[in-house]
């Protein structure tokens, strides 16, 4: 049995008005296939170009090892020169990813290659982050700490994105006091006998290619699997729904500090308890349904 995933609609282009009416207001995801063809990035950005302009930078890398108590929130697992990392991506499958790297700050020349598009909502104007991955790498299923609306632009290669709205959280084995689900669920091919609540979850799926942009509504869970080596840039707009905005404030000002505090105080027992609690809570909700 498979996850219940609906294909995300794809459009070639989209007017501001249609975007707001058909996707932003109803909070539905969409892929716009040809939206950035007038950006220099559309023609220039690929792994070879990044190696050329950012090759000598040292980058933080993450793999898919489970969270441990002695690692802080989002602490990298390795570091490498960007040129070595691009060589690695191009030579063999790797689990190493770059997650939230402020390359545009470190390599300002790249800032000329894109613009903040007018989708009819105000985008956060801070420098956007870039994400890289090799074939075989994936992010955990997570949502962002600020529950933002995300515009995810993809460059080079193919990527699979699976999304769930916040309403589906009850079926997803969410880890308490964190932004992820159980890390041992393989969302690309989940074992539904082991994780029966997932049968009730209704999600969305899309495959992105060079130049596509995926609109991810606010607070949506996302799981990205790099099918071939590539990279993406995310632009963001603040969460508007009061419930999501309140959760963002709670996460930023309370949740992450509390979690770090408990890791220091209780160590691995805290992580183990959270992992067990994820199953217990999801099973309870399933029983109550
Ligand atoms: O594509 C990735 O590697 C992660 C993207 C992501 O999590 C985000 O844009 O918030
Ligand atoms: Fe994210």
pLDDT digits (tens, 9 = 90+) for 162-210: 999 999 999 999 999 999 999 999 999 999 999 999 999 999 999 999 9
Residue 152 makes CB contacts below 8 A (sequence gap 6+) with 161, 208, 213, 214, 215, 216, 232, 233, 234
DSSP symbol at 23: I
pLDDT of residue 12: 97
Class of residue 77 by CB neighbours under 10 A (exposed 0-12, middle 13-18, buried 19+): middle
- Choosing from 149, 152, 161, 207 the residue with most ligand 1 atoms within 8 A of its CB, the one to mutate for a pocket test is 152
Asked if 233 and 111 touch (Cβ cutoff 8 Å), the reply is: no
Whether residue 65 has pLDDT greater than 90: no
Q: Whose CA is nearest to atom 9 of ligand 1?
A: 234
pLDDT of residue 46: 97
Q: Which atom of ligand 1 is nearest to the CA of 99?
A: 3
Beta strands in the chain (DSSP E): 4-7, 10-11, 30-32, 58-61, 78-81, 97-101, 129-133, 137-138, 149-155, 159-164, 202-208, 213-216, 221-226, 230-237
Q: Specify the pTM.
A: 0.95
Whether residue 72 has pLDDT greater than 90: no
Q: If you measure from the C-alpha of residue 271 to the centroid of ligand 1, how many angstroms do you get, rounded to a whole number?
A: 23
Q: From the CA of 152, which ligand is nearest?
A: 1
Q: If you measure from the C-alpha of residue 214 to the centroid of ligand 1, how many angstroms do you get, rounded to a whole number?
A: 11
What is the secondary structure of 99-157 as a DSSP string? EEE-HHHHSGGGGGG------SSPPP-SPPEEEEE-TTEEPPSB--TT--EEEEEEESS
Q: If you measure from the C-alpha of residue 287 to the centroid of ligand 2, how many angstroms do you get, rounded to a whole number?
A: 30
Q: In total, how many domains does the chain have?
A: 1
User: Which of 170, 179, 139 is CA-nearest to residue 286?
Assistant: 170
Ligand 1 binding pocket (C-beta < 6 A) is 97, 99, 131, 133, 139, 144, 150, 152, 222, 224, 232, 234
State the residue range of the domain holding 10: 4-288
Separation CA 259–CA 145 (nearest Å): 13
Q: If you measure from the C-alpha of residue 288 to the centroid of ligand 2, how many angstroms do you get, rounded to a whole number?
A: 30
Query: Percent of the chain at pLDDT above 70?
Result: 97
Separation CA 278–CA 257 (nearest Å): 20
Asked if 141 and 184 touch (Cβ cutoff 8 Å), the reply is: no
- Choosing from 139, 206, 219 the residue with most ligand 1 atoms within 8 A of its CB, the one to mutate for a pocket test is 139
Separation CA 41–CA 104 (nearest Å): 12
Separation CA 39–CA 277 (nearest Å): 46
- Supply the CATH number for residue 123's domain: 2.60.120.650
pLDDT classification of 92: cutoffs 50, 70, 90:
very high
Q: Is 201 helix (H, G, I), strand (E, B) or coil?
A: coil
Class of residue 228 by CB neighbours under 10 A (exposed 0-12, middle 13-18, buried 19+): middle
């Amino acid at each position: 049995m498979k996850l219940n995933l609906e294909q995300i609609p794809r459009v070639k282009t989209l007017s501001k008005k249609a975007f707001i009416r058909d996707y932003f207001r109803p909070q539905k995801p969409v892929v716009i296939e040809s939206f950035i063809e007038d950006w220099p990035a559309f023609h220039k950005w690929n792994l070879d170009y990044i190696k050329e302009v950012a090759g000598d930078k040292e980058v933080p890398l993450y793999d898919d090892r489970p969270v441990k108590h002695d690692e802080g929130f989002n602490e990298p697992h390795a570091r490498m020169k960007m040129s070595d990392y691009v060589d690695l991506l191009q030579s063999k499958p790797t689990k190493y990813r770059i997650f939230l790297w402020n390359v545009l700050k470190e390599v300002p020349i790249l800032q000329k290659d894109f613009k903040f598009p007018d989708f009819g909502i105000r985008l956060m104007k801070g420098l956007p982050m870039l994400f890289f991955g090799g074939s075989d790498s994936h992010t955990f299923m997570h949502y962002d700490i600020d529950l933002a609306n995300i515009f995810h632009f993809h460059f080079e290669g193919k990527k699979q994105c699976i999304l769930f709205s916040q309403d589906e959280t009850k079926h997803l084995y969410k880890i308490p006091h964190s932004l992820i689900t159980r890390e041992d669920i393989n969302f690309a091919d989940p074992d539904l006998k082991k994780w029966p609540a997932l049968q009730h979850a209704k999600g969305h799926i899309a495959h992105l290619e060079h130049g596509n942009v995926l609109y991810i509504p606010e607070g949506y869970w996302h799981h990205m699997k790099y099918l071939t080596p590539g990279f993406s840039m995310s632009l963001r707009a603040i969460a508007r729904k009061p419930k999501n905005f309140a959760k963002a404030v709670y996460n930023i000002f309370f949740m992450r500090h509390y979690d770090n505090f408990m890791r220091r105080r209780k160590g691995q027992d805290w992580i183990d308890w959270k992992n067990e609690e994820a199953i217990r809570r999801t099973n309870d909700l399933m029983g109550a349904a």
